[in-house]
Amino acid sequence: MDDLSRFCCLNAGCPDHGKRNHGNLTVPARYGPSNTRVRRCPTCKARFSERKGTPLYGTRLPAQTVESVLAHVAEGVGTRKTARLAGVNKDTVTRYVRQAGEQAQQRHDELVALSPRTNELRLDEKWAYVAREEKICGPDDRRRGDCGDHAALDLEARLVVSLVVGKRTEDATHALVRDFHRRTGGRVVRLMTSDEYSVYATAIRQTYGQVVTPPRTGRPGRPRQPYTVMPLAVTYATAHKERKNNRVVGVSTRVVLGTWWAVALALPASAVSRVVNTCLVERYNGIDRNRCSRKVRKSYAFSKDGDTHRAATAFCHFSCNSCWPVGTLRERDADGRWRRRTPAMAAGLTDHVWPLAEWLTFPGVQRK
């Protein structure tokens, strides 16, 4: 019997839209050389291919070829190399990367809609570029130039909770902090850290601060303006790199929001570090550059198109959350044997390592 629990109705107007494991779908027919199933929702009578919402939808290539293409991309192989190795056109690789990026974003929005275990946040931005570096862009190169990853990382689980891809602007930073706030249910996490980029403090103040409107006194004169009060639990510290002759010779901590006392209490409770430092996030950035060929420094595999860059970034970050076990996250099971865990498992969002083939055949749903 086919397992239909991972599928759901994809009709946005249906009351059962997006409800997985609902037990209502049927398989009235199959089609194509791969005997692909057609799913039918009895509520709205709509029919869908089981591939809809996945990178396999509408492909004329065998599923194994598409999976091979995306497996190469996920391993950090460039577009043209992937095309030669898989025996397809480079534009075909690009098309699958875009579809996989869209699906990965939808899967992330569903899987990390709420991350209840996140306690330690690290904000960071990683530089990359599209087509050419910003410093050599002309006035007409609005879609080219620097295009970095703004990431909110759950340090203990190594989970990418939020990601904003784009130019290093205040808007991108504010969007990142707002997205993290939403995905943690508005909860104040134990400790927030970042580098010296001052916009983070403003974004945290705006997002977590509570606006207080003073009551009208009834006396003549201009009423007092509303002001923002930070919750006492918000603790935000930055790691400052001290350089000598362009080399980092030390890292010092500065408390920006909250107190030294709160930071001193938060660090011993951390599962990963006793000091505010940059090593975990730098390690993560190194891994990401290794797995996303277009971010390898000084290579010809850099991104040529912004939309593909964003899709590849989403695919690499979000599939890594679920498909790549992290060595230091392993734990012993009840029998005393080591159990490998991915960031999503460590964050309590899933119970197994997702093989890439399973990830790619899991339909994404466009949520409202």
Does residue 287 touch Zn ion according to CB under 5 A? no
Rounded-to-integer distance, Cα 117 and Cα 98, Å: 31
- Give yes or no for a contact between 306 and 143, defined as CB atoms under 8 angstroms apart: yes
Does residue 63 touch Zn ion according to CB under 5 A? no
Select from 7-15, 101-109, 197-205, 348-356 the region that touches Zn ion (CB under 5 A): 7-15
Rounded-to-integer distance, Cα 140 and Cα 356, Å: 39
Place of tokens 């875009």: 98
Residues 6+ apart with CB under 8 A from 85: 72, 77
CB of 20 to Zn ion, least distance (A): 13
Rounded-to-integer distance, Cα 315 and Cα 311, Å: 6
Does residue 22 touch Zn ion according to CB under 5 A? no
Does residue 41 touch Zn ion according to CB under 5 A? yes
Select from 35-43, 50-58, 176-184, 344-352 the region that touches Zn ion (CB under 5 A): 35-43
Select from 10-18, 26-34, 235-243, 326-334 the region that touches Zn ion (CB under 5 A): 10-18
Closer to Zn ion by CB, 16 or 109: give it: 16
CB of 7 to Zn ion, least distance (A): 11
CB of 14 to Zn ion, least distance (A): 3
Select from 8-16, 172-180, 182-190, 257-265 the region that touches Zn ion (CB under 5 A): 8-16
Number of CB atoms found within 10 A of residue 166's CB:
17
- Beta strands 26-31 and 36-40 are antiparallel
Tell me which of 14, 71, 356, 357 binds Zn ion, using CB under 5 A: 14
Short-list 159, 160, 157, CA closest to 330 = 157
3-class state of residue 297 by DSSP: coil
Closer to Zn ion by CB, 11 or 273: give it: 11
Short-list 266, 269, 265, 317, CA closest to 289 = 317
Closer to Zn ion by CB, 11 or 36: give it: 11
Residues 6+ apart with CB under 8 A from 64: none
Does residue 38 touch Zn ion according to CB under 5 A? no
Select from 2-10, 54-62, 195-203, 316-324 the region that touches Zn ion (CB under 5 A): 2-10
Does residue 9 touch Zn ion according to CB under 5 A? yes
Rounded-to-integer distance, Cα 85 and Cα 128, Å: 26
- At 348, the amino acid letter reads G
Give whole-number Cα distances, 304 to 94, 96, 126, 128, 309, in Å. Answer: 11, 16, 18, 12, 8
Size of the site for Zn ion (CB under 5 A): 7
- The DSSP output letter for 17 is B
Closer to Zn ion by CB, 43 or 207: give it: 43
CB of 39 to Zn ion, least distance (A): 10
- Give yes or no for a contact between 147 and 306, defined as CB atoms under 8 angstroms apart: yes
CB of 43 to Zn ion, least distance (A): 4
Rounded-to-integer distance, Cα 309 and Cα 294, Å: 8
Does residue 11 touch Zn ion according to CB under 5 A? yes
Does residue 44 touch Zn ion according to CB under 5 A? yes
Closer to Zn ion by CB, 45 or 219: give it: 45
Does residue 43 touch Zn ion according to CB under 5 A? yes
Which residues inside 73-132 make contact with Zn ion, applying CB under 5 A? Answer: none
Residues 6+ apart with CB under 8 A from 42: 24, 26
Closer to Zn ion by CB, 24 or 89: give it: 24
Rounded-to-integer distance, Cα 368 and Cα 366, Å: 7
Closer to Zn ion by CB, 11 or 65: give it: 11
Site string for Zn ion, 129-168 (x = CB under 5 A): ----------------------------------------
Task: Tell me which residues touch Zn ion (CB under 5 A).
Answer: 9, 11, 14, 16, 41, 43-44
